[in-house]
Structure 1
Amino acid sequence: MSERQRASHQHSAPTTAFYSPPEWDLLTDLPGRVLVAAASPAPGRPPRGVAAGLAGLDAVAAGRGFDSDLVRAVVSAIYARHDGVNERDGRLTDMVDLLAACRATVRVLRRRADPADSAAYRQWVESVAARVCRAGDGASPADRRFLDRLGGALELR
């Protein structure tokens, strides 16, 4: 292995080693759950089209460029899945469950992640929802409430 390959390999050390399998599942499932919730119809929110879903997928993919080993590892894990969809949880868009998952993720990050990685991950997840909500005509008042609740659960507010 060349020096450059060795340095690259060390830089991408297995972030997953810091997390139990259920914790890692929580971290890798949350961005998709947030995307689905932001794109799903809800009272007071405008209907979403394909452009909103694509904006969310683009926001997930943008995590590959983050200066956070954790975010890049989560994006890699998401793209490594064969189906790209979490079928373990049929309640993907339930707001109460989503906010609970956000709070649980924050607790995991507080225990296990570097503070900078934690902040980057939480901001990235929020950016997925924001991009979906702002696709098209911009965020409605209901979208802003959704984003505020999400930001609060992610401890960004």
Structure 2
Amino acid sequence: MSHSLAGEPPSAGRRTAPLTTAVYSAAEWDLLTDLPGRVVVAAAAPGPGRPRRGVAAGLAGLDAVAAGRAFDSDLVRAVVAAIYARHDGAPEPTDRLTDLVDLLAACRAAARVLRRRADPADSAAYRQWVQSVAARVCRATPVGTPGPPAGESPADRRFLERLGGALGLR
């Protein structure tokens, strides 16, 4: 555990400045910090068997990203802090609106980076957090939308299963 400059432990036993970012190259760090926004965009996008989600999905995605600040993982908290610092306080979807194949490739690349460089607990926490971001967006179907309950359509389940597989969670 690290200590503050005054010699006292930081509040709640957390480090004041996570050291996790030092082990990643700039490209690896960009991958890890861009991936949550890409997941929000992909999970909110309509597709065959997937409803148009609208503003509710975007808000659910932003809330899910922000929830990473409370994770018991230095890596997840550092990623969220970087997202907020880069976007001046508000995470926003990436400009790279890519298809699902590209997103899944990015998830596999992130999983490889995490296997090589991250503490196993931080790796698991990051991958589960990214999956939870997608799940919260998929559950955010606007009220009154016909069809199965939010996040329970076969297309949403397939999307989440493929994402989980690419992240190494399945």
Q: TM-score, normalised by structure 1?
A: 0.90
Aligned ranges 1:118-137 → 2 under 5 Å: 118-136=123-141, 137=149
- 1:153 matched residue in structure 2: 166
Contact 1:122 1:156 in 2 (8 A): yes
Quick one: structure 1 residues 12 and 46, their matched pair in 2 at CA, closer, same or farther if it must change by over 3 Å?
same
Q: Take 1:3 and 1:62, find their aligned partners in 2: how far apart are those partners?
A: 29
Secondary structure at 2:8 match in 1: helix
1:5-154 correspondence runs (5 A): 10-82=15-87, 84-85=91-92, 86-87=94-95, 90=96, 92-136=97-141, 137-139=149-151, 140-154=153-167
Q: Give the equivalent residue in structure 2 for 1:2.
A: 6
Kindly indicate whether structure 1 or structure 2 has the higher relative contact order, using CA contacts under 8 Å at least 6 residues apart. 1
Using the TM superposition, give the Cα deviation of residue 11 of structure 1 relative to its aligned residue in structure 2, in angstroms: 4.8
Correspondence for 2:144 = none
Number of aligned positions between the proteins: 154
Structure 1 runs not aligned, ≥5 long: none
Counterparts of 2:130 and 2:15, CA distance in 1:
26
* 1:82 positional shift: 3.1
Superposed displacement of residue 12, structure 1: 2.6
- Unmatched segments (≥5 aa) in structure 2: 142-148
TM-score, normalised to structure 2, is 0.84
Identity level (%) = 75
8 Å Cα contact 2:18-2:78 kept in structure 1: no
Following superposition, the deviation at residue 112 of structure 1 comes to 0.1
Please give the per-residue CA displacement for 1:87-134, whole angstroms capped at 9, x wherever unaligned. 3xx3x2410000000000000000000000000000000000000001
Structure showing greater radius of gyration is 2
Query: For the Cα contact (< 8 Å) 1:110–1:118, is it kept in 2?
Result: yes
Provide the aligned C-alpha RMSD in A: 1.8
> Is the helix fraction higher in 1 or 2?
1
User: 131-140 vs 68-77, which deviates more?
Assistant: 131-140
Q: Which moved more, 1:8-17 or 1:112-121?
A: 8-17
Give the deviation of 1:152 after TM superposition.
Answer: 0.4
| Preserved CA contact (<8 Å) 2:18 2:75 | no
Give the conservation status (yes or no) of the 8 Å contact 2:20–2:78: yes
